[in-house]
């Protein structure tokens, strides 16, 4: 009888945890697409739960926005541990930045409500900035140590990322931001002489080339003018 009671207590808790996670995942998709004005009914429908279930977990719209925001920050932070196993560090950094753009898309959809939630406190802003800069630092340091990119602070990386996403609010801005990320990462790459084309390398002039650089014997030609020797 006691075992049955324990099992009964555990099942609702597990169901509640799953429902909460479904609501957060649905809210991320709905807010990314519809912005702050997207209805909570649409979130509940997408999550496959009743509106009452949604309100039991998140009594206010702002509470739901903040929970989604924190969840996405945690996912980006946790993603670093997975990406550290990538054999090419610069590719790991590139993948993390692409995921960060998805996070910013969600944040844009909730920007007005998050501004309300953050009023009077900087705790949420400080929490996200601290987690994201630490996550970026891990991948940056690994790529720098591998000799793949030039040194860059994680703070500057986050500023560059936010700047690229803030350039445009029109539909399709994410595709533009992803292209800019590719250009940005390529610009950080360390060039290698081994990878340079042969035409860009210095080669010793041939005998014929050296002979063409000799001035005429009467000294009349000006310095710097190449004169071909007449046989």
The CATH class of the 62-202 domain is: mainly alpha
Give the pLDDT of residue 82.
Answer: 92
Per-residue pLDDT at 24: 92
Say whether pLDDT at 223 is over 70. Answer: no
CATH fold match for the domains 14-59 and 62-202: no
| pLDDT tens digit sequence for 3-22 | 444 444 455 578 888 999 99
Identify the burial level of 31 via C-beta atoms within 10 angstroms of its C-beta, where 0-12 means exposed, 13-18 middle and 19 or more buried: buried
- What is the CA angle 90-132-156, rounded to 5? 65
Residue 197's pLDDT is 39
Query: Which pTM value belongs to this model?
Result: 0.68
Q: What is the pLDDT of residues 154-177, one digit of tens each?
A: 999 999 998 888 877 777 888 888
Q: Which residue would you say has higher pLDDT here, 71 or 198?
A: 71
CATH 3.30.40.10 fits 14-59, yes or no: no
Condensed to tens digits (0 to 9), the pLDDT of residues 68-84 reads 888 888 999 999 999 99
pLDDT tens track for 103-117: 887 777 666 555 555
Which sequence spans correspond to the domains of the chain?
14-59, 62-202
What's the pLDDT at 183?
A: 94
């Amino acid at each position: 009888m006691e075992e049955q009671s324990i099992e009964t207590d555990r099942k609702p808790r597990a169901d509640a945890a799953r429902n909460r996670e479904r609501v957060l995942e649905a809210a991320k998709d709905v807010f990314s697409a519809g912005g702050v004005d997207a209805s909570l009914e649409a979130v509940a429908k997408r999550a496959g739960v009743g509106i009452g279930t949604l309100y039991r977990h998140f009594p206010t719209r702002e509470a739901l926005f903040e929970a989604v925001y924190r969840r996405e920050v945690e996912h980006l932070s946790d993603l670093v541990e997975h990406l550290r196993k990538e054999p090419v560090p610069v590719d790991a950094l590139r993948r993390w930045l692409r995921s960060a753009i998805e996070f910013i898309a969600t944040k844009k959809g909730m920007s007005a409500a998050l501004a309300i939630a953050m009023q009077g406190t900087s705790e949420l802003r400080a929490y996200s900035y601290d987690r994201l800069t630490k996550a970026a630092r891990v991948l940056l340091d690994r790529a720098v140590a591998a000799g793949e990119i030039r040194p860059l602070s994680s703070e500057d990386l986050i500023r560059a990322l936010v700047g690229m996403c803030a350039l445009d609010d029109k539909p399709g801005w994410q595709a533009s931001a992803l292209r800019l990320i590719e250009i940005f990462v390529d610009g950080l790459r360390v060039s290698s002489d081994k990878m340079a084309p042969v035409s860009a390398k210095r080669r010793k002039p041939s005998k014929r080339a050296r002979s063409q650089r000799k001035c005429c014997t009467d000294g009349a030609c000006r310095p710097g003018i190449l004169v071909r020797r007449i046989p």
